[in-house]
Structure 1
Amino acid sequence: MSLFSLTRLFSFSIKSKTSKISTLHFATTSLGEKLDAHLQNSPNNVEKTLNSLAPIKLDTKYVNDIIHRWSLNNLQLGLRFFIWAGDQPNYKHNLYIYNKACSLFKIKQNPQVILDLIATYKVEKCVVCVDTFKVVLRLCKVGGLADEALMVLKKMPEFNIRPDTTAYNLVIRSLCEKGDMDMAKQLMWEMGLIDLYPDMITYVSMIKGFCDVRRLEEAYALFPVMSVHGCYPNVVAYSALLDGVCRFGIVEKAFELLAEMEKEGEGCRPNVITYTSVIQSFCEQGRAKDALSVLELMEVRGCAPNRVTASAWINGVCMNGQLQDVYKFIERIVGGGSVSMGDCYSSLVVCLIKIKKVEEAEKTFRMALSSGMKPDSLACSMMIREICSEKRVLDGFCLYEEVEKTGCLSSIDIDIYSILLAGLCQKSHSAEAARLARSMVEKRIPLRTPYVEKIVEHLKNFGGKELVAELVSMVR
C-alpha cells in the first residue's frame, strides 16, 4: 500500500467521524437553542416553562450536552435545568452526570450557587417537591458540600415539604464523609421528632463515619440501637465496623467481632469477602502473621478462601519483603483445593513486578510455565511488557511464543502485540516482526495508533507491502 493510499485511508476515516460528530453537535445545539428561545421569553419560573414543552426524551448524553452549553453562558439556568431533569419520571441522573455537573457549575469553588438556587425557587414561588430537593442534596453530596446540604434540608419546611428518610440519609452521609459526626448524630436523633426512623443506610453511614474519625466505641454502640428500629445488624454493618477496627490495627477487637458475627448466625456470619477484607487490611499494615491467623480461622469455620484472598495475602507479604513465607503459603492454600497453583503464581508474579523484583518475577514466571501452569492474562501482559521496557524485546518475543504454546494468550492485553512488534522493528528483527505481524492479522488484532508509523515504515522496507495493507486495515 502506498503512502498516498495510507493517507487517503486515514483521511476518509477522520472525515467520516467528523461528519457524524458535526451532525450530533448540530442536533444537540438545535435543541439547546430551542430551549434557550423558550426560556428567554419566560425567564421566571424556568421549571414551569420546561414542563410546558413537549415531552423531552432525556438521557445522560442529552443532559450532559445541555448543561455544558449553559454552563458557559448561563450557569444558574443550566443548574435549574439539571435539577429539573433529575426530577423527571422517566430519567434519573447517574453518578457520572452528577460529577460532571459539579465540575461544569464549579459547585465546590462556589457553593453559594446552591443556596442562591433555593432562594430563587422561593422568590419565584416555584412548585417543587421532595424529589426536587433530593436532586439538590445528591448534588451537594457528590460535590462534598455537607454544610450547604444541611442548610438545604433546613429550608424544606419553608416550601411546606417534609423531608423523608432518603433526604436525611443524603445529608447524614455528607456529614459523615466530612467527619462532622456530632451534627450527623443530631440529625439522626431529629428524624424521630417527625416520625421518621433511621434505616440500614443511615446506620451503615454512621458506623463508617464514626470509624473514620476513630470513635469506634460510638460506632459499636449503634448495634443494639439498630434492633429497636427494626434494623437488625447484618454482614454489611459488621463489615463496616470491622473495616474501621482493622484500619487502626486493633487486632483483638477484630477477632472478637468475627466471633460475634459467627455467633449471630444467618445474615451476620462472615463470608469470604469479610475475611478477605480483614486479611488485606492486616497485610497492608505489615501484620502478615495476624492475616494468616484470620486465614486459619476462616478455614476452621468452613469458609474457603478464593483467589482474591490468596492474592491479598501474597501482595501483603511481598510488599513487606517476606518472600520466604510466600511459597509455603502457596503450597498450603493450593492444598485446600479452592485456589489453583496457576492463580497463586500469577498473583506472585504481578506482586514481584510491582515491587521491582523483575528478575525474581521472570524466574517465577518461567518456572510456572515449565511446570505446566497457565499464568493469567495480567501476569503474561505485565511480564512481557516489563521485559520489553528493559530493551530485551527479543526475549519478550520468545516468551510470548512460549506463552502462546500454553494457550494463555486469548485474553492478553492487545497493546502488548503493538509494543512487541514496534520493538522488533526498531531492533531490525525482521523475521520475528513478520511472524508476529502475520499472527496479528490471523487473530484480527489491530495495531495501536501510536505505533503505526514506525511499524509500517519498517515492514514496507523489508518487502511486506501486503502484510502492511492488512495491518493498516485493522488500525484503531
Structure 2
Amino acid sequence: MSLSSPSRFFSLRIHAKIHSISTLRFASASASASASEEFYAHLHENRGNVEKTLATVNGKLDSTCVREVLHRCSPNQPLLGIRFFIRAGLQSNYRHSAYMYGKACELFKIKQDPGVLLDVVEAYKAEKCLVSVKAFKVVLNLCKEASFANEALWVLRKMSEFNIRADTTAYNVVIRLFCEKGDMDMAEKLMREMGLVDLFPDMITFVSMIKGLCNAGKLEDACGLFKVMRECGCLPNTVVYSALLEGVCRFGSVERALELLGEMEKEGRDCGPNVVTYTSVIQSFCERGKSMEALGILDRMKACGCAPNRVTVSTLIKGLCSEELFDEASKLVDQIVATGAVSAGDCYSSLVLSLVANKRLVEAEKLFRKMLASGVKPDSVACSIMIKEICLEGRVLDGFYLNEEIEKMRFSFLMDSNIFSILLAGLCQQGHLVESEKLARLMLEKGIQLKLPYADGIVENL
C-alpha cells in the first residue's frame, strides 16, 4: 500500500466525524427549537410584563431550550435574558444546573458587569412585580457563580423591600462568599445577624465559617466554633472536623494536627476520620519533608480499619521520592499491593511518575517495562509520560516499540493524543516510514486526530 494512504484515511475519518457530529447537533437543535422559539417570541410580545407573558407558554422547558433562549438574548438584551433565566429557575419540572449558572454568567458577561443583576432587581421593584424568595435565590446563585460578595449582600438586603424574609439558605450563600473573599468580619456579622432574625446557623454555615477562619489563619477562632455549634444543637461531624484539620495542617503545627486527629479517632462514629482526613494529614507531613513520619499515619489508618486509596498512596510515594527515599517508596508500593487496598497498576504507575519527576528515567523505564512483562497494567498518564520522555531523549523507535508492547496487553487506556502526534512526527523525521504508517493506522482505528503543530510536518514527510 502506498505511503499516501494514511493521509487519505485521516482525511476521510475527519470528514466522517464532522458529518456525524453535525447530524447529532442538528437533531438535538431541532428537538428544542420549537420551544425556544416560542419562549423567545413571547418575550418580545410583551416586554412590560415578562413573567406573566412567560407563564402563558406551554413549551417544554429543558437545559437545551434555556441555553438557546439565553444565546438569542445575550447580544443586546441581557436584562430580558436574565429575567427569563430567573423565571425558568422557578419551575417545578426544571432546575438550573451549575453548568447553566456558569453559562448565564458567561453569555451576559455578569463577571465583567455585576450591575446587570442589580438592574434586574430594580426592574422588579419599578414594575411592582411579585417576587418569591426562590427568585432571589436564583439571583444569589448567580452572584455565587460570579464570586460577587458585595453584590450578594446588596441582594440579601433588598429582599425586605419586597416583603420577603431571607432564610438560612440565602444567608449561607452570602456568608460563604465573604468567607471565600477573606472578609471574616462581615461573615461573622452576618452569622450573628441570623440569630437576630430568628434563624439558626446550620452545618453548611459552620463549615463555611470554619474554612474561612482557617484560611485567614484564625485557628483558635475556628476551634471556638465547635463550642458554638454544640450550643446551637448542631453537633460536629467528620466534615466539620476535617475542615478544621485541613486548616491546622496548612497553618498550624503537625503536633496540633495529630492531637486533633486523635480527638476524631476517640470520638468515632459520625466524627471518625475517613480516608480524606488521613490523606490531608499525610500530605501535610510530606510537604514539610517528613515523609517517614507520614508512614506512621498510614499505620494509624490500618489500626482504625480505614484503607488507603490511590491518592493516599500517591501522596506518600511523591513525598518519599522528593526526599530521595526511593527504596522506601518501593517497599511501600510492595506492601500496599500485597494488601490489595490499591491495585498494582495504580501503585506502580504512581511510582513511575515520581521517578520521572525526580529525573530517574532509567529506573522509571525499568520499572515500567517490568510492569508490562508481569502483566501489570499501567495507567494512561504513566503510559503517556513514559513514551514522551523516551521521545524527548531522541529514542523515537524505542517509544514506538514500547507503545506496541502496551497495545499487545489489549486494555482500555486513553493516552494523550499529543503523545501519539509527537511519536508519529518523530518517526517521520527519522525516516522510519514503515513504523509511521503502522502508527498512523492505529491512530485511525482509535479515532485519534493529529495535533496541528505536528500535522504539516507529518504529512510532508509521508
Q: TM-score band, normalised by the shorter chain? A: 0.7 to 0.9
**Number of positions where the alignment pairs a residue of Structure 1 with one of Structure 2:** 455
* 1:176 paired residue number: 179
Give 2:239's match in structure 1, choosing from 229, 236, 241: 236
Residues 194-216 of structure 1, C-alpha deviations (whole Å, 9 max, x = no match): 33211111111111111111111
* 1:468 paired residue number: none
Alignment TM-score, normalising by the size of structure 2 = 0.87
What is the Cα deviation at residue 193 of structure 1?
2.6
Residues 93-127 of structure 1, C-alpha deviations (whole Å, 9 max, x = no match): 11112122222222232222222221111110111
Question: How far apart, CA to CA, are the structure 1 residues paired with 2:202 and 2:193?
Answer: 14
| Larger mean Cα displacement after TM superposition, 233-242 or 149-158 | 149-158
1:200 counterpart letter in structure 2: M
Residues 185-236 of structure 1, C-alpha deviations (whole Å, 9 max, x = no match): 2222222233321111111111111111111111111112223333211111
| Relative contact order higher in (CA < 8 Å, ≥ 6 apart) | 2
CA distance change for structure 1 residues 446 and 6 in 2, over 3 Å: closer, same or farther? closer
CA distance change for structure 1 residues 24 and 266 in 2, over 3 Å: closer, same or farther? closer
Residues 344-383 of structure 1, C-alpha deviations (whole Å, 9 max, x = no match): 2210111233445434422332344456644333312321
* 1:214 paired residue number: 217
Q: Tell me, yes or no, if structure 1 residue 162 matches structure 2 residue 151.
A: no
Counterparts of residues 309-324 of structure 1 (less than 5 Å): 309-323=312-326
Q: Tell me, yes or no, if structure 1 residue 413 matches structure 2 residue 418.
A: no
Secondary structure of the structure 2 residue equivalent to 1:46 = helix
| Larger mean Cα displacement after TM superposition, 128-137 or 105-114 | 105-114
Alignment TM-score, normalising by the size of structure 1 = 0.85
Question: How far apart, CA to CA, are the structure 1 residues paired with 2:220 and 2:341?
Answer: 37
What is the Cα deviation at residue 74 of structure 1?
1.2
CA distance change for structure 1 residues 9 and 376 in 2, over 3 Å: closer, same or farther? closer
What is the Cα deviation at residue 418 of structure 1?
5.4
CA distance change for structure 1 residues 299 and 386 in 2, over 3 Å: closer, same or farther? same
* 1:286 paired residue number: 289
Question: How far apart, CA to CA, are the structure 1 residues paired with 2:119 and 2:291?
Answer: 53
Q: Tell me, yes or no, if structure 1 residue 73 matches structure 2 residue 76.
A: yes
Secondary structure of the structure 1 residue equivalent to 2:271 = coil
1:267 counterpart letter in structure 2: D
What is the Cα deviation at residue 34 of structure 1?
4.8
Please tell me whether the aligned partners of residues 443 and 449 of structure 2 are also in contact (alpha carbons under 8 angstroms): no
Give 1:121's match in structure 2, choosing from 121, 124, 127: 124
Residues 23-52 of structure 1, C-alpha deviations (whole Å, 9 max, x = no match): 866887776665454334422231122112
Secondary structure of the structure 2 residue equivalent to 1:73 = coil
* 1:259 paired residue number: 262
* 1:297 paired residue number: 300
Question: How far apart, CA to CA, are the structure 1 residues paired with 2:353 and 2:442?
Answer: 26
* 1:45 paired residue number: 49
The share of aligned pairs that are identical, in percent, is 56
1:185 counterpart letter in structure 2: E
Question: How far apart, CA to CA, are the structure 1 residues paired with 2:18 and 2:345?
Answer: 44
What is the Cα deviation at residue 17 of structure 1?
5.2
| Larger mean Cα displacement after TM superposition, 36-45 or 133-142 | 36-45
Please tell me whether the aligned partners of residues 314 and 350 of structure 2 are also in contact (alpha carbons under 8 angstroms): yes
Please tell me whether the aligned partners of residues 376 and 408 of structure 1 are also in contact (alpha carbons under 8 angstroms): no
Q: Tell me, yes or no, if structure 1 residue 104 matches structure 2 residue 91.
A: no
Q: Tell me, yes or no, if structure 1 residue 275 matches structure 2 residue 278.
A: yes
* 2:398 paired residue number: 395
1:366 counterpart letter in structure 2: R
Secondary structure of the structure 2 residue equivalent to 1:352 = helix
* 1:445 paired residue number: 446
Counterparts of residues 189-204 of structure 1 (less than 5 Å): 189-204=192-207
CA distance change for structure 1 residues 247 and 430 in 2, over 3 Å: closer, same or farther? same
What is the Cα deviation at residue 251 of structure 1?
0.7
| Larger mean Cα displacement after TM superposition, 410-419 or 249-258 | 410-419
CA distance change for structure 1 residues 344 and 9 in 2, over 3 Å: closer, same or farther? closer
Please tell me whether the aligned partners of residues 38 and 59 of structure 2 are also in contact (alpha carbons under 8 angstroms): no
Residues 411-441 of structure 1, C-alpha deviations (whole Å, 9 max, x = no match): 2427355554454344332343455456667
Give 1:94's match in structure 2, choosing from 85, 97, 112: 97
Please tell me whether the aligned partners of residues 286 and 320 of structure 1 are also in contact (alpha carbons under 8 angstroms): yes
Question: How far apart, CA to CA, are the structure 2 residues paired with 1:316 and 1:341?
Answer: 19
1:39 counterpart letter in structure 2: L
What is the Cα deviation at residue 143 of structure 1?
0.7
CA distance change for structure 1 residues 259 and 63 in 2, over 3 Å: closer, same or farther? same
Q: Tell me, yes or no, if structure 1 residue 424 matches structure 2 residue 419.
A: no
Residues 46-66 of structure 1, C-alpha deviations (whole Å, 9 max, x = no match): 1122112x2232222322222
Question: How far apart, CA to CA, are the structure 2 residues paired with 1:23 and 1:268?
Answer: 51
Question: How far apart, CA to CA, are the structure 2 residues paired with 1:9 and 1:362?
Answer: 34
Please tell me whether the aligned partners of residues 42 and 49 of structure 1 are also in contact (alpha carbons under 8 angstroms): yes
CA distance change for structure 1 residues 357 and 68 in 2, over 3 Å: closer, same or farther? farther
Secondary structure of the structure 1 residue equivalent to 2:173 = helix
Question: How far apart, CA to CA, are the structure 1 residues paired with 2:443 and 2:407?
Answer: 13
Question: How far apart, CA to CA, are the structure 1 residues paired with 2:293 and 2:357?
Answer: 23
Please tell me whether the aligned partners of residues 387 and 393 of structure 1 are also in contact (alpha carbons under 8 angstroms): yes
Consecutive unaligned residues in structure 1, runs of 5 or more: 460-476
- Alignment RMSD: 3.2
CA distance change for structure 1 residues 75 and 343 in 2, over 3 Å: closer, same or farther? closer
2:254 counterpart letter in structure 1: V
Residues 245-291 of structure 1, C-alpha deviations (whole Å, 9 max, x = no match): 10114211111111111111201111222111221233234332442
Please tell me whether the aligned partners of residues 306 and 339 of structure 1 are also in contact (alpha carbons under 8 angstroms): yes
CA distance change for structure 1 residues 401 and 191 in 2, over 3 Å: closer, same or farther? same
Please tell me whether the aligned partners of residues 39 and 59 of structure 2 are also in contact (alpha carbons under 8 angstroms): no
What is the Cα deviation at residue 311 of structure 1?
0.7
Secondary structure of the structure 2 residue equivalent to 1:338 = coil
Please tell me whether the aligned partners of residues 206 and 225 of structure 2 are also in contact (alpha carbons under 8 angstroms): yes
CA distance change for structure 1 residues 292 and 259 in 2, over 3 Å: closer, same or farther? same
